[in-house]
Structure 1
Amino acid sequence: MNIAIVGTGYVGLVSGTCFSEMGINVTCVDVDEKKIENLKKGVISIYEPGLEDMVRKNIQAGRLNFTTDLADVLDDVEIVFSAVGTPPDEDGSADLKYVLAVAKAIGENIKKYTVVVTKSTVPVGTAKKVKETIQAELDKRGENVKFDVASNPEFLKEGAAIKDFMSPDRVVVGIESEKAKEKMSRLYKPFMLVSDRLIFTDIPSAEMIKYAANSMLATRISFMNDIANLCELVGADVNMVRKGIGTDTRIGKKFLYAGCGYGGSCFPKDVKALIKTAQKVGYDMEVLQAVESVNEKQKSILFNKLMKHFNGDINGKTIAIWGLAFKPETDDMREAPALVLIDKIISAGASVKVYDPIAMPECKRRIGDKVVYCKDMYEAVVDVDTLLLVTEWKEFRMPSLEVLNKTMKNKVIIDGRNIYDAKEMVESGFDYYKIG
Structure 2
Amino acid sequence: MKIAIVGTGYVGLVTGTCFAEVGIDVTCIDIDQKKIDNLHQGILPIYEPGLEEMVSRNVEKGRLQFSTNLAEAIQDCDVAFIAVGTPPGEDGSADLKYVLAVARGIGENMKSYGVIVTKSTVPVGTAAKVRAEIEQALAKRGADIEFDVASNPEFLKEGAAIDDFLKPDRIVVGVASERAEEVMRRLYKPFLLNGHPIIFMDIPSAEMTKYAANSMLATKISFMNDVANLCEIMGADVNKVRQGIGSDARIGTKFIYPGIGYGGSCFPKDVKALIKTAQENGYKMQVLQAVESVNEQQKSVLFDKVSRHFGGELRGLKMAVWGLSFKPKTDDMREAPSLVIIEKLLAAGCTVTAYDPVAMPEARHSLGDSIVYAKDEFAALIDADALLVVTEWPDFRAPNFEVVARLMKQKVIFDGRNIYEASELKELGFAYHCIGVRTEHREPLNDSITANKVSAAS
The TM-score, its normalising length taken from structure 2, stands at 0.95
Q: Partner residue of 2:150?
A: 150
Task: Look up the equivalent residue of 2:42 and give its one-letter code.
Answer: G
**Displacement of 1:12:** 0.2
Whether 2:9 is the aligned partner of 1:9: answer: yes
| Residue of structure 2 equivalent to 1:223 | 223
1:364 to partner: Cα distance = 1.0
Alignment partner, residue 92 of structure 1? 92
Quick one: which amino acid aligns to residue 216 of structure 1? M
The answer to whether 1:255 aligns with 2:255 is yes
Equivalent residue letter for 1:383: D
Give 1:41 shift: 2.1
Partner of 2:21: 21
1:351-400 CA distance string (max 9 Å, x none): 00000010011111221100000001111011011100000000100111
Amino acid at match of 2:290: A
- Correspondence for 1:420: 420
Aligned to 2:167: 167
Q: What secondary structure sits across from 1:18 in the alignment?
A: helix
Q: Secondary structure at the match of 1:104?
A: helix
Question: Which secondary structure state, in structure 1, belongs to the residue aligned with residue 94 of structure 2?
Answer: coil
Separation in 2, partners of 1:133, 1:318: 55
Matched residue, 2:46: 46
Structure 1 distance, partners of 2:364, 2:73, is 37
Equivalent residue, structure 2, for 1:283? 283
Does the 8 A contact of 1:28 with 1:64 survive in 2?
Answer: yes
CA distance in 2, matches of 1:377, 1:42: 29
The answer to whether 1:65 aligns with 2:65 is yes
- Distance across 2 between alignment mates of 1:72 and 1:127: 23
Residue matched to 1:398: 398
Residue identity opposite 1:375 in structure 2? K
Deviation at 1:143, TM superposition (A): 1.2
Deviation string for 1:237-276 (max 9, x for gaps)? 0000000000001111100000011000000000000000
In the alignment, the residues of structure 1 paired with residue 265 and residue 194 of structure 2 have an alpha-carbon distance, to the nearest angstrom, of 31
Q: Specify the alignment match of 1:128 in structure 2.
A: 128
Deviation at 1:312, TM superposition (A): 1.0
Distance in 2 (CA, whole Å) between partners of 1:47 and 1:196 is 26
In 2, the alpha carbon distance for the partners of 1:94 and 1:24 equals 31
Corresponding residue of 2:383: 383
Does residue 325 of structure 2 align to residue 320 of structure 1? no
Q: Which runs of 5+ in 1 are unaligned?
A: none
1:199-218 alignment runs, 5 A limit: 199-218=199-218
Q: Contact (CA 8 Å) 1:260, 1:300: kept in 2 or not?
A: yes
Q: In 2 relative to 1, CA 194–378 (structure 1 residues): closer, same or farther, beyond 3 Å?
A: same
Q: Tell me the secondary structure at the aligned position of residue 74 of structure 2.
A: helix
Q: Structure 2: how far apart are the matches of 1:364 and 1:117? A: 35
Map Cα deviations across residues 25-51 of structure 1 (whole Å, 9 max, x no partner): 000000000111111222211100000
Unaligned runs of 5+ in 2: 437-458
* Cα distance, 1:76 vs structure 2: 2.4
Q: RMSD across aligned C-alpha pairs, in angstroms?
A: 0.6
Following superposition, the deviation at residue 196 of structure 1 comes to 4.2
Hey, what's the Cα distance between the residues in 1 that align with 2:369 and 2:83? 33
Question: 1:359 maps to which residue?
Answer: 359
Q: Which residue of 1 aligns with 2:311?
A: 311
Partner of 2:455: none
Q: Shift of the alpha carbon at 1:179?
A: 0.4
Partners of 1:123 and 1:298 in 2: how far apart? 27
Instruction: Write the distance in 2 (CA, Å) between the matches of 1:196 and 1:90.
Output: 38
Q: Structure 1 vs Structure 2: percent identity of aligned residues?
A: 66
Distance in 2 (CA, whole Å) between partners of 1:76 and 1:90 is 39
Give the partner amino acid of 1:141. Answer: R
Displacement of 1:140 after TM fit? 1.2
Q: Which amino acid in structure 2 is aligned with residue 128 of structure 1? A: A
**Amino acid paired to 1:384:** A
Contact 2:14 2:51 in 1 (8 A): yes
Q: Contact 2:327–2:392 (CA<8 Å) still a contact in 1?
A: yes
Structure 1, 404-413 or 93-102: larger mean CA deviation: 404-413
- Partner residue, 1:349: 349
8 Å CA contact 2:319–2:384 kept in 1: the answer is yes
1:38-81 Cα deviation digits (max 9, x unpaired): 11222211100000000000000000001001101212211000
Q: Distance in 1 between matches of 2:5 and 2:306?
A: 46
d(CA) in 2 for partners of 1:316, 1:75: 62
Distance 1:405 1:3 in 2: 55
Larger CA deviation: 99-108 vs 40-49: 40-49
2:98 is aligned with what amino acid? Y
**C-alpha distance 429-44 of structure 1, shift in aligned 2 (>3 A):** same
What CA distance in whole angstroms lies between the structure 1 residues aligned with 2:111 and 2:404? Answer: 66
- Counterpart-to-counterpart distance in 1, 2:221 and 2:74: 43
Contact 1:42-1:59 at 8 Å conserved across structures: no
CA contact (8 A) 2:76 2:112 kept: no
2:78 maps to: 78
Q: Work out the number of aligned pairs and report it.
A: 436
Q: Is the 2:169–2:196 contact (alpha carbons within 8 Å) kept by the matching residues of 1?
A: no
Residue identity in the other structure for 2:54: M
**Residues 1:272 and 2:272 are matched in the alignment:** yes
